[in-house]
A and B are shown apart, each in its own frame.
Chain A
């Protein structure tokens, strides 16, 4: 994960900005997936999914599907 993305995530946590956290963790997951690190990708998508669930964010179904695909969610 880039330093810039990490800073954005930390700032979103500090602001309790769950909607941004969904987007940022989604992005972190995609980058990890592109790098071939599926465990890291699922770690980030898990965070995105949890915040999406909490906020009824429209990305929750897509995130759930991704986690199911990699056997990380039911």
Chain B
């Protein structure tokens, strides 16, 4: 039976959160997979994962085999990682594609842009054409993608509005940060596997209410009252601080700032979720992204990446920064795992929000509920049309 979303979509003063089923029921997980993750612009990977021309990396997203590829034209594209012939997986491990992508089964070949360029023996031995095999219509299936702040977003269903339209307000809000963001490299990325539904990681990230209890170290200089809520209903949510403090090394050095920032960012910073699954941090001297990869109903991989304004940053300071953020994000693990366990309590009703503190979380629940409602309406219309 479909879950009741009406209580979620009430004003925060009277709303409840998403019910337990949204965290523990495989049927609802399957519904959300389509309605929330495939029908939206989900974070898949970083462009930094394919740094050189011809780099190809197979990536799975909720069971969908995808291929992240930087073409010879330096454009990063995402393809379905399957041959148009027999659906064979094309690339099974990260590699450099020197020329064509050759299917390991019958050797159909595709260009870096996905065009089908060779169909060996398709018309019989030594005959490589056939009147019924129209190569122009049999290129690789490209998944719509958009890169922002080095994050590769994909719309698996292919029918979402353009990324720039969906996220226009957020792009405008952070346009001062449009200068290049350089990935810090191997020492600036790590993955935290957590036993929780992916949404709980979003919910925890969005709000500052938990900071004094879960991150007392952060709260010593960035107190709860120094934060503000960010809630753009139907769009995005998160939190901001007025007292961002730069990391220094023993010599007092700091990371270089992103160029052209206004005074507001001298001590300000913002932490926003790009719905559905990308958690971003914007600060004067570095940014970060956490791509949430839902690997099961109750399992998520948090892929963390740190970015800087320069390709040439101090190794020691960068390492210190990675350690600092890792500690912060690890402090959240028991919380998101604890909430996941809590979702098995049969009398939990989705929870009551603090109207003062929890608006970013309610904003996310409201968005999830709206996406599911739209999906259900579309499914219903399809069923009626089929009758």
Contacts and interface: CB of A to CB of B under 8 A. Distances in A.
A72 B98 contact: no
Contact of A55 (B99, B129, B135): B99
A46 B102 contact: no
Contact of B128 (A55, A56, A73): A73
Given A42-B126, A74-B129, A54 B98 contact: yes
Contacts of A27: none
A72 B125 CA distance: 10
Nearest to B127: A72
Interface string B110-138: 00000001101100011111000001000
B120 A47 contact: yes
A53 B102 contact: yes
Contact of B98 (A49, A56, A73): A56
B120 A50 contact: yes
B294 to A, nearest CB: 34
A55 B98 contact: yes
Nearest to A67: B128
Interface residues of B, number: 17
B109 interface: yes
A66 to B, nearest CB: 11
Given A46-B120, A47-B120, A53 B126 contact: no
A52 interface: yes
B128 A57 contact: no
B126 A46 contact: yes
Contacts of B99: 52-57, 60
B109 A43 contact: no
Q: For the complex, would chain A's binding face be called helix, strand, loop or mixed by DSSP majority?
A: helix
A53 B107 CA distance: 11
A73 B125 contact: no
Contacts of A39: 125-126
A55 B95 CA distance: 12
A72 B102 contact: no
B129 A73 contact: yes
Contacts of B121: 43, 46
Contact of B117 (A40, A43, A53, A55): A53
A49 B99 CA distance: 11
Contacts of B127: 42, 72
A17 B109 CA distance: 18
Given A50-B109, A53-B109, A53-B118, A43 B125 contact: yes
Nearest to A74: B129
B171 interface: no
Interface in B331-379: none
Interface in B84-112: 98-102, 107, 109
Interface in A22-63: 39-43, 45-47, 49-57, 60
A73 B135 CA distance: 12
Contacts of A40: 126
A56 B283 CA distance: 43
Contacts of A74: 129, 135
Contacts of B107: 50
A52 to B, nearest CB: 7
Contacts of B118: 49-50, 53, 73
A39 B121 CA distance: 11
Contacts of A73: 118, 128-129
B109 A72 contact: no
Nearest to A56: B99
Interface of A: 39-43, 45-47, 49-57, 60, 67, 72-74
21 contacts: A39-B125, A43-B121, A43-B125, A43-B126, A45-B126, A46-B121, A46-B126, A47-B120, A49-B118, A49-B120, A52-B99, A53-B99, A53-B100, A53-B102, A54-B100, A54-B102, A55-B99, A56-B99, A57-B99, A72-B127, A73-B129
User: Which 9 interchain pairs have the tightest Cβ spacing?
Assistant: A56-B99, A42-B126, A43-B126, A53-B100, A54-B102, A56-B98, A46-B120, A50-B107, A73-B128
Given A53-B117, A57-B99, 16 more contacts: A40-B126, A41-B126, A42-B126, A46-B120, A47-B120, A49-B120, A50-B107, A53-B99, A53-B100, A53-B118, A54-B99, A55-B98, A72-B127, A73-B118, A73-B129, A74-B129
